[in-house]
Amino acid sequence: MNFPKIFGALSDPTRLAVVDKLLDGPASVTDLSRPFDMAGPSFLKHLRVLEDAGIVASNKSGRVRTVSLVPDSLMRVEHWVRQHRARLGERFDRLGNFLNQEQ
């Protein structure tokens, strides 16, 4: 799992909006691109970044390309965030204890 690549992909507002939309279920590229004021090739670059990061997968049936989330990628990000949040909480607890002892 390449977290820098995943977080880089999610750092763009367009790509983040695409992920939000895909939480409702798979969608065609046409449907996904509709809310954005950009040329098709530019939007496809955003999808490529998400796909390269392992966040989405796409398949083509006839002339329609459908995009869906790869749930495992977001679950691993959630696990990573929880671990780091717990470690940060421990550090704040230690800091609080230290400050209380100094008073």
Residue ranges per structural domain of the chain: 3-102
Q: What does the DSSP assignment read for 39-97?
A: -HHHHHHHHHHHHHTTSEEEEEETTEEEEEE-HHHHHHHHHHHHHHHHHHHHHHHHHHH
Would you say residue 28 has pLDDT above 90?
yes
d(CA 55, CA 63): 23
Q: What is the pLDDT of residue 71?
A: 84
What does the pLDDT look like over 46-81, one tens digit per residue?
Answer: 999 999 999 999 999 999 999 999 988 888 888 888
Does the domain at 3-102 match CATH 1.10.10.10? Answer given as yes
> Which of the four pLDDT bands, split at 50, 70 and 90, describes residue 29?
very high
Q: Is 74 exposed, middle or buried (0-12, 13-18, 19+ CB in 10 A)?
A: middle
Q: What is the pLDDT of residue 85?
A: 79
61 C-beta neighbours (distance < 10 Å), count: 8
d(CA 73, CA 50): 11
